[in-house]
Structure 1
């Protein structure tokens, strides 16, 4: 077949974006007549589309409801009991705005985060996520797509962020244990979760109460119940004098319970336990788990509000989610 007989290459959304001098997400919003776009920008995009004779494919048009804003949501594991409330908060807040939500999971492989962001960029107007990859890695994948990160400190100025008041929560937990007379307090950390602030918050809080952070008092765990169990067993072997443990999250605290039973230890008589996240399952175990609780639905709602700000062209902001120390039977 000669060059003249070949069908011309189909004009793509990216071709229109290049002609108009905007991102392909902006082209998508303009063509789908979505509200979060400047009228002059919309006019420029539509002019470019007409000049290039751009026609959206049937597949692309089928990805979203006509005129609807689509929000991508990325979490690490939909089966993790932390995320159902967060997902519900995002969906509820998005539906109040008439938005639809596409949910993706990394399945606990943070290396998949850039890939998922690039995939969602072709379908969504903005993305919110509980993400742990470095800011620079996420920025390269986003390519200008409005992005809101939940649960950790963010330094990239283009990203919105819903940060957790970790230091206040950890300070409250250590202060409570100190007031109860505990001097040897250990921590089970999870260094690979993209939230490196909890360990320094623990060290700072211990220092504020003149409590020593001695060798072997902090150990790391895989982010699973069994990981928490293995870490607590190692901690007690190295430091049998420890009488209280603060855990990176409630899942690891559940592992402490499992290991304590195996070691014939009583909670809180032999070792007090305080977790972080405030999962509902903590109320169902015996004794009920003390935890630094945060409102996960509220986190989701704040992320949606920040995504709306970014789509409206406003500067990115940082929201701080408060926490509350909930004392139950474990401490």
Structure 2
């Protein structure tokens, strides 16, 4: 165990205190911040270890915490993509109802940045919620025991807490709507490359095959997750398949780009080509024509995530049934 003489070269850390007291880092955090549900003898042992080592919580961390409050770290991919602020708003709203605090970090879709955010937040919060592409083993290495809830990853895809999106059912609704309108040549603009296809692409192709349509993986083009990417990808798809009559976008921003390219080419939406987005952003009501989209209830995502954090902080296991899933619904507007 470390003693004061072992850490002279540097400032004592929460890990030093945990090792000396024989407890977890989370227990040290709860003792230092006078949280509930900690044994008095354990608390005193932690405080004595802190005094022995001269440990002081960082000024930043002390300023973030109120007595007895829970602080949750939220990692989102892109603040510039309106989908993620809407999810963040859902988490913030539910956390506020509980009197909790939320610290938001942005990973920019980078694996290195998300791990850096995890390392930083793990010293400041009681639990973490967010979007992570890294596997369970790497996340566990950097998590140091904190409760973690992964967004848009099903409970069958991780050992951590999770809120999954039922992409299969959402895509089923989208394709069924187009087929009911007589469309047979339907393409997709995916937000992931062909060698690492998204779940939305896989669900789309499954539904296409279920309807026995003359479409294969060549009818899917890759797009970056923005309007400009949707414009470029739609142009490529129309060049390859000029007889296309409908397209499904990986997200709403890509779908908006698809509409813009179609209109620039003199195509009428939806008369000549129908367009469906995925996410159900409020901006879909602001464009012309208004965007038909598979809507994800971002408020429900936030509520399920925060509820899982509460369960895990109370020592319960995260749910492994339907309680961890958000089921989208198709919002039909003018574009399809």
TM-score by length of 1: 0.90
SS at match of 2:218: coil
Match of 1:252 in 2: 254
Q: Alpha-carbon deviation of 1:296?
A: 0.5
Change (3 A) 1:109 1:8: closer
1:148-202 CA-partner distances (Å, limit 9, x unpaired): 1112335331x1101011100101111111111111110111116x982111111
CA distance in 2, matches of 1:8, 1:167: 55
Q: Alpha-carbon deviation of 1:15?
A: 1.6
Match of 1:290 in 2: 292
Alpha carbon RMSD of aligned pairs, Å?
2.2
Match of 1:73 in 2: 74
Bigger CA drift: 120-129 or 20-29? 20-29
Q: Alpha-carbon deviation of 1:284?
A: 1.1
Is the Cα contact below 8 Å between 1:111 and 1:133 reproduced in 2? Answer: no
In the alignment, does 2:186 pair up with 1:185? yes
CA distance in 2, matches of 1:328, 1:295: 17
- Of structures 1 and 2, the one with the larger relative CO (CA 8 A, separation 6+) is 1
Bigger CA drift: 226-235 or 205-214? 205-214
Match of 1:100 in 2: 101
CA distance in 1, matches of 2:214, 2:153: 27
1:239-297 CA-partner distances (Å, limit 9, x unpaired): 11111101111010011012112212111111101110000111111111100001102
Q: Alpha-carbon deviation of 1:215?
A: 5.3
CA distance in 1, matches of 2:107, 2:225: 14
CA distance in 2, matches of 1:141, 1:14: 13
SS at match of 1:198: helix
Match of 2:326 in 1: 321
Q: Which runs of 5+ in 2 are unaligned?
A: none
Q: Alpha-carbon deviation of 1:84?
A: 2.4
Q: Alpha-carbon deviation of 1:58?
A: 5.7
Match of 1:63 in 2: 64
In the alignment, does 2:265 pair up with 1:263? yes
Bigger CA drift: 274-283 or 134-143? 134-143
SS at match of 1:161: strand
Change (3 A) 1:261 1:322: same
Q: How does 1:9-48 map to 2 (within 5 A)?
A: 10-35=11-36, 37=37, 39-40=38-39, 43-48=41-46
Bigger CA drift: 262-271 or 55-64? 55-64
CA distance in 1, matches of 2:10, 2:218: 64
CA distance in 1, matches of 2:34, 2:87: 29
Is the Cα contact below 8 Å between 2:50 and 2:56 reproduced in 1? Answer: no
**Length, aligned pairs only:** 322
Is the Cα contact below 8 Å between 1:31 and 1:46 reproduced in 2? Answer: no
Is the Cα contact below 8 Å between 1:25 and 1:122 reproduced in 2? Answer: no
Is the Cα contact below 8 Å between 2:163 and 2:326 reproduced in 1? Answer: yes
CA distance in 1, matches of 2:172, 2:85: 27
SS at match of 1:216: helix
Change (3 A) 1:266 1:50: same
Is the Cα contact below 8 Å between 2:175 and 2:204 reproduced in 1? Answer: yes
Is the Cα contact below 8 Å between 2:148 and 2:309 reproduced in 1? Answer: yes
Change (3 A) 1:227 1:28: same
